[in-house]
Homo-oligomer: A and B are copies of this chain.
Amino acid sequence: MVRGRISRLSVRDVRFPTSLGGHGSDAMVSAHTDPDYSAAYVVIETDAEDGIKGCGITFTLGKGTEVVVCAVNALAHHVLNKDLKDIVGDFRGFYRQLTSDGQLRWIGPEKGVVHLATAAVLNAVWDLWAKQEGKPVWKLLVDMDPRTLVSCIDFRYITDVLTEEDALEILQKGQVGKKEREKQMLAQGYPAYTTSCAWLGYSDDTLKQLCAQALKDGWTRFKVKVGADLQDDVRRCQIIRDMIGLEKTLMMDANQRWDVPEAVEWMSKLAKFKPLWIEEPTSPDDILGHATISKCHNRVIFKQLLQAKALQFLQIDSCRLGSVNENLSVLLMAKKFEIPVCPHAGGVGLCELVQHLIIFDYISVSASLENRMCEYVDHLHEHFKYPVMIQRASYMPPKDPGYSTEMKEESVKKHQYPDGEVWKKLLAAQEN
């Protein structure tokens, strides 16, 4: 089925001026500049005559997107003029080629800008592959035989915890009951939680209003951003707990705001609000700082958090890790340690992408929904051609072929930085 040679790769800097509304503000960014949710948006084309394009994104916060765009261009020669068949036929080798480029590796490796760029490129490849197969990515993964799945994973630096044989064994066990779980997902969807109510930039009134609406819409799990001001946090957590009651689930996210002793002290003051977890209390590099849940930049960091038993929940990210490939390795390690995966989402497109991974995880790997849920933020979905569908606070499995990464061309054009219509106006207004 797989066909064509990659004949073109384009990448665009797409920014949404979210800083104007205080959406997406957390403790780290609100202390400085508010974020403009953005993406480096990659489109790859082939010489096949089917007209199918692969679209990939990585999420960014505004400034710096141009740096990621620059890194995507630096990676482009690894993709151009390759047959898609050769790429996915030796996906591990291709992943290794991208992440171990002798010269580019120095400015990573497998972290920060180059890894975000790698994710954008690989996300486009997965989108293209799934579209050619006529399946959404989650279904492509679910239907793939374990050996092929494992051949997509680079085990470098994790074999002390997960070998190829371990991975195969987990995936083979996951075949049992798969059909039923797939049916269940299609009928009920994957449980989600909402972060949309409680950004730091919102007034108490907005907070209350959004919370009331979310309850009406059937949400039972809520996340609140904390960490900028303790008194403020106490007041806001009180408001939310009063509204949602004790039986509903509340999570907290400090977005790397604290040092280790500070985190311990601060959280002792917030413990009475019974958070299920505290997310990113300190530096994402601090394995020994014992995060309860953490977004990490690669599988090596996740491996250690699991080894050190520093995680009670594990938070994958579709754009910070090296696409589906690296996320597969992390899902399998989490299964080995029996740690529930609760993906990070929100931003631009993170919900669209990560739903594929978590639905696959349930059907083929974890086979459990206990203590599991996927973040949801009701934001910017209108710019996607195949936006997420939420029903009864659950992600309904996408049915369109691909990775749900494709943006509407009109949205991209309008929001290109700095020459799109939206930015031209904003920048002109700033100058006046």
Contact = CB atoms under 8 A, between A and B. Distances in A.
B307 A288 contact: yes
Contacts of A30: 102
Nearest to A72: B67
A100 to B, nearest CB: 6
B300 A283 contact: yes
Contacts of A36: 103
A422 interface: no
A297 interface: yes
Contacts of A63: 74, 101, 103-104
A56 interface: no
A29 to B, nearest CB: 4
A158 interface: yes
Interface in A61-112: 61-64, 66-68, 70-71, 74, 97, 100-112
A29 B114 contact: no
A340 interface: no
Contact of A284 (B28, B109, B297): B109
A147 B352 CA distance: 51
B71 A157 contact: no
A160 B61 contact: no
Nearest to A264: B160
Contacts of A235: none
A373 interface: no
A157 B283 contact: yes
Given A32-B100, A63-B104, A111 B308 contact: no
B157 A286 contact: yes
Contacts of A32: 97, 100-102, 105
Between A31, A62, A107, A262, the greatest number of chain B beta carbons within 10 A of the residue's beta carbon is seen for A107
A308 B288 contact: yes
- Size class of the A contact interface (CB-based, 8 Å): 35 or more
Interface stretch (A253-261, A353-361, A398-406): A253-261
How many monomers of this protein are in the complex?
2
A283 B67 CA distance: 24
A111 B297 contact: yes
B33 A159 contact: no
Contact of A160 (B71, B259, B287): B259
Nearest to A69: B70
A162 to B, nearest CB: 11
A64 B102 contact: no
Contacts of A303: 286, 288
A282 interface: yes
B289 A301 contact: no
A298 interface: yes
A9 to B, nearest CB: 16
Between A67, A157, A256, the greatest number of chain B beta carbons within 10 A of the residue's beta carbon is seen for A67
A116 B103 CA distance: 14
A407 B94 CA distance: 38
A282 B299 CA distance: 13
A35 interface: yes
A156 interface: yes
A229 to B, nearest CB: 16
Given A33-B102, A33-B103, A66-B74, 19 more contacts: A29-B103, A29-B105, A34-B102, A36-B103, A60-B103, A60-B106, A61-B106, A62-B103, A68-B107, A70-B70, A107-B112, A107-B116, A109-B256, A113-B114, A156-B259, A157-B259, A157-B285, A159-B262, A288-B303
15 contacts: A32-B101, A61-B107, A64-B103, A67-B114, A109-B256, A111-B297, A156-B259, A157-B282, A158-B259, A159-B259, A160-B259, A283-B300, A285-B301, A286-B303, A289-B304
